[in-house]
Structure 1
Amino acid sequence: MAAYAASSSLKNTIKHIQQSYRISLASPSSEILQPAYEAMSRLQKVLVQILVTSRLRIKVYPIQVVRLLNEEESKKLLGEKVFGERGFPFSLEKLGEKIAKKCEGLPLMIVTVAQLLSEEDKTTEYWTEVADIQHSSVFVDAYNQISEVLFPSYDYLPQYLKMVFLYLGAFPPYSDIEIHNLFHRLCAEGFLEPIEIQTSEDFMDSLGDFMDGEQTLEDFMAQCSAKLAYWYHLILLESNPESWFSKKEFRVHSCWQHLCKKEASEIKFLHVLESCDDVLRDQRRLCAHSNTLFAFKEVCDSITSDCASTVRSLLCLGAYHQYPVLIHDMDFKLLRVLDALKVRFYNVPHELLKLVCLKYLALTCNKELPISISNLFHLQFLIVHPHMHIKKRGFLSYMPMEIWDMQELQHVEVLGTDLPTPNFDATLGNVSSVIGVSAKSCTREILKRIPNLKELGILLELKPYEDDDDGSNSLIDFDYISEELCNLHILSYFVLNPNMKYEFVVPLSMFPSSLTRLELKGLGFAWRDMNHIGSLVPNLKDLRLEHYAFRGPKWDIESGCFLNLETLVIEDTDLVCWSP
C-alpha cells in the first residue's frame, strides 16, 4: 500500500512539474538525489529549468560550486550585517577586518558572527578580544550553531572517510596539513593496515571502484583528501596558492575543525587539550596546540590516572619552542604514535626508549641517536630533526649500527646523520624512504641493502674550509644509483647555503627512468644539463628547481623532454626566458 502511494505521489509530482517552468530541488545526500535523477529523466522533452542544490558534487549535470568569499568581500559582508549599508565605523574597521579574516570566507560563518556581535557592546575593547583570542566566546558560540547545520555532511560520509576526517581535528586551526605526514601518522595508527585475514592486495581490492589501476596506499590517502575536497567539500585545497599548486597540502576550515574536535572527543577517538581541567577519561589520542600543556604535572597526572591504559597517541602540534619543554612521565606502555617534532629535547629521553609499542616517533634533538633506539623494534617511522645545523670540523655523524636491526622501519628521516655501512649481511627490506642523508649514505654497499627504496633525499652541507673536502659531498662516482634503485620514484638533492663559485658535477646516470618527482636546490647546473636529465626521466610529473639549482639567463628546452610533466616550480633563479 505504501509503495502504491509513493508511486502515485511521484506521478502526481511529475505531472505538476510538467506544468512548471522552473524547479528547485534541495538535496543533501546521494540517496535522495537518485529519485530526483529518475524524475528529471522523464522531463527531457519538456522545456523546464531545473536547479538542484546539494552537499555533494553532482557528476550527471553541469555544476556551479559556491566559492568562499575573499578578504574584501568578507569584510564588506560583516560590516553590512552589523552596521548596515554604511559598514564599519572608523574605530572598528581594522578589528572588523581581523574578525572577518578569522571567518575564512564562509558566508554562513560571517553572518552568524555578525548576529552575535550585534547583540554585544560595540566597543574597541570587546572587539579586540574577539579578534585576538582564538577561542573567544563569539566564535565558540558561532561554531556550535553552525555545527548543527554542518553535521549531516559529516554523517553522510563513508566510514573510512569519517575516520580520516575526524583525525584532521588534531591540527591547529588556520594551518596547512601536509598529506605525506598525515599519511605516515594514519599508517602508524593502524588505520590503513589490512585486517589479518587479508593480504595487502586484497585490502586494496576491497576499496572497490575508488582505487584507479595500480595504486599504493599513499595514492589512496591522496585520493581520500581529494574526495573530501571536491566531492564532499569538507576540506580546502585552494586556501593557500602554494598548497593548491603543489597538491601536497590542504587545510580544514575552522568551522569543520570545531565539529571534528567535538565529535572526536565525544566518541573517545581524539581529544585536543585546551586546559589543565580537561576531562580525559578513556581518550585514545591526545593532542595539544600549546605544547607546554604536556609539561604541566597536573595534565600528566590526569593522563596517568584517566587514560594511561587507553591512550595510543600523543601529538604535540603547537608552535615550535626554541627552549626544551619537559614532558613528564611518558609511561604509556601501549603508545603507538609520539609526534614531538615541535618540541626540543637536549637528549633522547630514556623513558621514550621503553615505549616498545611505538610505531611513529618524531622529535627535535641535536644529540646522536643512542644504541638503545633499536629497543623500539616495532618502529616504522623515525623522524629526528636538529634544533640547529651545527657542523663540526672533521666530525661525521652516523646513526647507530643497530639501525639495521629495526626490520619494521619504513621511513627514516634523521637530518644531517648518515646510515653506517653494515659489517654484516643486513637489509632494510621495508624501508621505502630515506631523507636527509649525505652522499656517504649513497654508496653501492648501502643502497643495495635497501632494495625497495622509493624516495631518497640527499642533503649536502658545504664545509667551511677548502681543505675539509672528504668526499662526502661528491656524487661524481655515483653512476650506479639508477642501477641499484630501479624503483625510485622521488629524488631530492639539496645544497644548504650554496656557494655559486662551485658547480657540482652529477653523473646523468644517477637519475633512474622510474622517477616521477625530482627536486634540486643550490647545485648551480647549466640549463643544458636539465635537457639531458629530462631525456632520461620520461615519467617525470613533478619538477622543482630552487635556490639556483640551474644557472643562466636562457633555457632552450629540447623537444621530446618532459612530455608527462604536470608541475614545474622554479624559484630563486637568474633565468630570464626559455624557448621550447
Structure 2
Amino acid sequence: MEHVLKSERTSTSIDEEVVGFKDDAENIIQQLTGGTKELDIVSIVGMPGLGKTTLARMVFTHQCIDKHFDVRAWCSISKEYNLRKVFLKILKQVLGNLDDSPSEDLPDKLRKSLMHKRYLIVLDDIWEVETWEELQLSFPDDENGSRVVLTTRDEEVSRQLKHHSDPYFLRFLTVDESWDLLQKKVFQGEICPPELHKTGLQVAENCKGLPLVIVLIAGIIAKQREASLWLGFAEDLSSQVLEEQSMKIIESSYDHLEDHLKSCLLYMGLFPEDHQFPVFNLLNLWIAESFIHSVDTENVEEASKICLNDLVNRSLVIVSRRREDNGEIEYCTVHDVVHEFCMRKLTKEKFMQYRPSKEPQYIRFIHDDLVHQLLQYTKSLDRIPMLAGLKEGESFAQCHDRSLKFIARPKSRVWEKTFPLLDNLRFIRVLHLSDVCLERRSWTKAVQAATHLRYLAICTQEFDFQWVSHLHYLQTLQVVGNSDFSRRFETSPSIWKMKKLRHVDIQDFSFKWEDNNRALFEESSETLLPALKTFGKCRIYLADKTPEFWWRFPNIEQLKLHFIEPGYEVDMPNLEELPLQSLELCFSRPISGYKSIGRASCVVFPSNLKDLSIDRLCLTEEAFSQLASRRNLESLKLRNIYFKPEGRFWQAGYGICWDVSDYEFLALKYLLLQNVLVTEWRSSDSSFPVLEKLIINKCTILCGRIPSSFVDIPTLKLIKLICCDYSLQNSAFNIKNEVEEIAGCDSLQVLIQYQPDSKLYH
C-alpha cells in the first residue's frame, strides 16, 4: 500500500497526483458498488494523518464510481459546521445550479432531489453521531444501492452509525512502506545515497507508520541531507508518544520555517477548519499584513506565490484546485491536524486568539476578552493592556507603528455593536466584510478613521471612490454590490489619490467616466495609478474611455472589463502599449446576430499578452490575424464568438468557415471554445504546435469534426467535450486512436462531460 502525493516541484508550481491506497480503494469500491440494495453507510476510520480524506477522495473520483452512481456530492463537515451551508453545498452538487431557498426548505429539497436516484454522498470528518441525525432524513432509501461514505477519527461514531457494512479501519504503514514513501518525498525519484540509507530507515521506522508524519518530516530533511542531522530527527521521533506525534512533527516543521512563512501559516489557522482559500485573496491578505517581503516591491505578488509554494512543498498546505488553463493554484486548504496546531499556537499570542463559533464566518484576530473591553473602554483604548500586543505599562500611542490585526465576517447584529468602534481602531489593516451587505452610512463613517487600511472588502448598495480616497495605504479594494439594488455611479477624481492601489475588483456596479474629468489627464503625474496590477470585473461604458484613460495604468498586468454599451458595434480600444499579461473582455448583449455584439475590427491586443478571454464579440479576419500575431499567448478562451463571414472566414454557399490553417499560435497551450457557431473548422499541423488542452463547450460545428491536424500535435494531452453532439465525440476518439497508433502509448485523454456532475473518463 502506497500513501503518497507524487509531485513535480518548481519554484512556481507543484503538480500532485494521488497514486496510493490501491488495496484500500479497491475494498471500498467493492463495498460501494456491491452488497445490499438498501441505503448503506461505509465509514473510513483512522487517527489524524492516516489518510482518511485522501482515500475517500480517490474513491469518489474513480471512473467506475462515476459510472455507477447517478449523482455524487462531497461535503467536509468538521467539528464546527453550519447545517444550512452543508445542505447548500450538497444541493449545489446534486442540482448543478441552485436558487436561494429558505433554510427550512433545504432538507426537503435535498430529499426530493435525491429520490429515485442512485447517489453517493461523502461526509468528510464526522465528529458526532448527532451530525448524521440532523442529515439522515434528507437521504432517502429507494433500495437502489445508494451509499453514504463517512470519514471519522472516532471509532464509536462509526459503530453507532453502522447500517450494513462494517467500518473500514485504515492500518499504519509497514516500515518498508514508510521508507518507500519517505524516499519518494525526499529524493523525488532519485536514488538515496548509501550514507543516508541506514539513518533514513531509522527515521522511517520512528514515524510509526503515519503517512502525514512521514510527509512532514520529509519536508524538513529534504534540504538537510546529513546523516547526523537525520539521526537527530530519528531520536526525537522515537521519544514521542503516538497521540502527540503529529503535533510534534508539525511543530518541528514549523520551527524550520522562515519567520514570514510562520506568519503566513498561522494566519490560515484563523479561518474555519476545512476552509477553502481563494489563493488570489489569501495572497493579498498576506501582503496587506506585511508578511511578504521582497527586495523588488513591484514583485511582491510573485514573492507571495513563492511563499505559498514553499508551504505546499513542505506539505503544510494542501492544493484543493488548480486552474485548468495554466495549472496555477486556485484554491488551497490546510489539513485539520495542521489547523489544530495553528490554533494551539495562536492561543499563545496575545492579540491573535481564535474565538470558536457555530457560525464559521465569525473569525477575528482578537483576545477572548477584547470585544468586551472594547465596548467598555470605547473612549480610552490605552487602558486595554493587550490591545495590539501592548506590553504592561505601554500606552496605546507608543505602539502606533503596529497595526491591530483584525478580520471579520460577522452577522449584521454582531457588527452593529462593533462597527462604531472602528473610529478608535486607527491602525487596523484588514477589513473583510463582503459577506454582509452594509449600508453606505455605516461603512463610510466607520472607515473614516481607519486610515491605515491596506485591504478592504465590502458588500454595499452604493459606492464611490471618493468615500475611500482618504485610504492612502490601501492596496486591495473589493466591492461587491447587491444585485437587486446596485447602482451606476460616476468615477471621481479621488481615485487618483490612491497611489498604493494594487488590486481593484468592482462587481455588480456600472460606472461612467465624466466628461469634465477628462481634463485631469493633462496633469499626467497626478492622474496615474503606478502600482495598479489588476483591475477586474468592472462594468463600464467603453465609449466614455478616451485613449488617454488606459495610459493611466502604466504597470497593469490583468484587466477584466464588462462593457454595457447601449448601442451596437462599439469599437474596441487600442491596448497595445499596456503591459497586460491577462485580458478579459465581455459585452452584455447576447448573440442574436453579429450586429448585436461588440465589433472587434479595430481591436489591437497588448503585445505581451499571455492569457486572453473574449465573450460576445464579433471577430473579423483582420482582428483574428492581429490576435494570432501575439507570440506570447498561452491561453485563449472564446465564448459566444461570431466570426464575420468575410475572406477566409466565408465559404460561398456553405457558411462561416473558421480557417486558421495560415495562422501560427506559437505559444498557445490552452484553447477553449464555448458557444461558437461555425460550419467548418480548418487547421494545419503548424497552427497550434504546442497546444496541450482543447476544451469545446456547447459548440456547433456543422461538419461535426475537429481538424485531423490535431493528430500531429505532439504536446496534446487532453480533449474535453462538454455538451457536444456525438459527431464531435467520434471525431475526438478518432484523433485519440490515431495518436495511440503513432505514439504507441496512451498519451491523449478524451473527456466527455454531459452535465456538470456527470463525467466519463477515457
What TM bracket, shorter-length normalisation? 0.5 to 0.7
1:562 equivalent to 2:657? Answer: no
Structure 1 pair 292–160 and aligned structure 2 pair: CA distance change class (3 A):
closer
Contact 2:355 2:363 in 1 (8 A): no
1:167 equivalent to 2:267? Answer: yes
Which residue does the alignment assign to 2:614? 520
* 1:457-536 aligned within 5 A: 457-461=560-564, 468-469=566-567, 475-476=570-571, 478=573, 480-483=574-577, 485=578, 487-496=579-588, 498-501=590-593, 502-507=596-601, 509-523=603-617, 525=619, 531-536=624-629
> Within 2, Cα distance between the matches of 1:350 and 1:173?
33
Unpaired runs of 5+ in structure 2?
Answer: 10-14, 57-77, 79-123, 128-150, 164-241, 378-383, 390-402, 644-654, 675-696, 710-762
Contact 1:188 1:337 in 2 (8 A): yes
1:333 equivalent to 2:416? Answer: no
Contact 1:418 1:441 in 2 (8 A): yes
Equivalent residue for 2:41, pick from 89, 93, 113: 93
> Within 2, Cα distance between the matches of 1:503 and 1:233?
48
Equivalent residue for 2:534, pick from 433, 436, 447: 433
Which residue does the alignment assign to 1:423? 519
> Within 1, Cα distance between the matches of 2:267 and 2:503?
21
Can you list the C-alpha shifts for 1:208-259, whole angstroms capped at 9, x where unaligned?
xxxxxxxx33233223333333x32232335578599553333333332232
The letter for the 1-side match of 2:499 is Q
* 1:138-149 aligned within 5 A: 146-149=246-249
Contact 1:104 1:253 in 2 (8 A): no
SS at match of 2:633: coil
Displacement after TM superposition at 1:363 (Å)? 0.5
Which residue does the alignment assign to 2:554? 451
Which residue does the alignment assign to 1:122? 159
The letter for the 2-side match of 1:417 is F
> Within 1, Cα distance between the matches of 2:446 and 2:16?
55
The letter for the 2-side match of 1:328 is F
Contact 1:289 1:316 in 2 (8 A): no
SS at match of 1:350: helix
The letter for the 2-side match of 1:362 is A
Structure 1 pair 58–519 and aligned structure 2 pair: CA distance change class (3 A):
closer
> Within 2, Cα distance between the matches of 1:257 and 1:440?
50
> Within 1, Cα distance between the matches of 2:325 and 2:629?
28
> Within 2, Cα distance between the matches of 1:368 and 1:53?
51
* 1:179-198 aligned within 5 A: 179-194=279-294
Displacement after TM superposition at 1:358 (Å)? 0.7
Displacement after TM superposition at 1:87 (Å)? 11
Contact 2:270 2:363 in 1 (8 A): no
Equivalent residue for 1:76, pick from 28, 31, 34: 28
> Within 2, Cα distance between the matches of 1:432 and 1:64?
29
Equivalent residue for 2:54, pick from 105, 110, 115: 105
Which residue does the alignment assign to 1:407? 499
Displacement after TM superposition at 1:324 (Å)? 10
Which residue does the alignment assign to 2:699? 574
SS at match of 2:283: helix
1:289 equivalent to 2:342? Answer: no
> Within 1, Cα distance between the matches of 2:20 and 2:320?
10
Displacement after TM superposition at 1:96 (Å)? 6.5
Structure 1 pair 422–323 and aligned structure 2 pair: CA distance change class (3 A):
farther
Contact 1:167 1:270 in 2 (8 A): no
Contact 2:4 2:20 in 1 (8 A): no
Contact 2:598 2:616 in 1 (8 A): no
Contact 2:537 2:562 in 1 (8 A): yes
Which residue does the alignment assign to 1:365? 460
Structure 1 pair 71–302 and aligned structure 2 pair: CA distance change class (3 A):
farther
Indicate the larger mover: 143-152 or 497-506. Answer: 143-152
> Within 1, Cα distance between the matches of 2:408 and 2:612?
31
Equivalent residue for 1:356, pick from 451, 473, 478: 451
> Within 2, Cα distance between the matches of 1:270 and 1:159?
16
Contact 1:360 1:381 in 2 (8 A): yes
SS at match of 2:553: coil
The letter for the 1-side match of 2:435 is K
The letter for the 1-side match of 2:302 is D
Over the matched positions of the two proteins, sequence identity in percent amounts to 18
> Within 2, Cα distance between the matches of 1:455 and 1:58?
27
Contact 1:504 1:524 in 2 (8 A): yes
SS at match of 2:445: coil
The letter for the 2-side match of 1:423 is A
Contact 2:278 2:331 in 1 (8 A): yes
* 1:377-396 aligned within 5 A: 377-388=472-483, 396=488
Which residue does the alignment assign to 1:233? 315
The letter for the 1-side match of 2:433 is A
Contact 2:586 2:614 in 1 (8 A): yes
The letter for the 2-side match of 1:122 is R
TM (norm. structure 1) is 0.64
Which residue does the alignment assign to 1:224? 307
> Within 2, Cα distance between the matches of 1:524 and 1:322?
45
Structure 1 pair 115–336 and aligned structure 2 pair: CA distance change class (3 A):
closer
1:157 equivalent to 2:250? Answer: no
Structure 1 pair 70–254 and aligned structure 2 pair: CA distance change class (3 A):
farther
1:313 equivalent to 2:399? Answer: no
> Within 2, Cα distance between the matches of 1:54 and 1:68?
6
The letter for the 2-side match of 1:428 is L
The letter for the 2-side match of 1:76 is I
The letter for the 1-side match of 2:529 is L
SS at match of 1:328: helix
Displacement after TM superposition at 1:155 (Å)? 3.0
> Within 2, Cα distance between the matches of 1:121 and 1:412?
48
Which residue does the alignment assign to 2:355? 273
Contact 2:276 2:333 in 1 (8 A): yes
Contact 2:287 2:304 in 1 (8 A): no
Displacement after TM superposition at 1:435 (Å)? 1.9
Displacement after TM superposition at 1:367 (Å)? 0.6
SS at match of 2:585: strand
Can you list the C-alpha shifts for 1:347-406, whole angstroms capped at 9, x where unaligned?
1330122201111111111212263422212222222111216577xxx52232212222
1:256 equivalent to 2:338? Answer: yes
Displacement after TM superposition at 1:565 (Å)? 2.5
Displacement after TM superposition at 1:168 (Å)? 2.5
Structure 1 pair 262–475 and aligned structure 2 pair: CA distance change class (3 A):
farther
Contact 1:508 1:532 in 2 (8 A): no
Query: For the aligned residues, what is the CA RMSD?
Result: 4.9
TM (norm. structure 2) is 0.50
Equivalent residue for 1:540, pick from 616, 619, 633: 633
Displacement after TM superposition at 1:89 (Å)? 13
Equivalent residue for 1:300, pick from 366, 371, 375: 371
> Within 2, Cα distance between the matches of 1:150 and 1:88?
42
Which residue does the alignment assign to 2:688? none
Name the one with the larger strand percent. Answer: 2
> Within 1, Cα distance between the matches of 2:272 and 2:364?
15
> Within 1, Cα distance between the matches of 2:255 and 2:20?
23
Aligned residues: 455
> Within 2, Cα distance between the matches of 1:451 and 1:187?
21
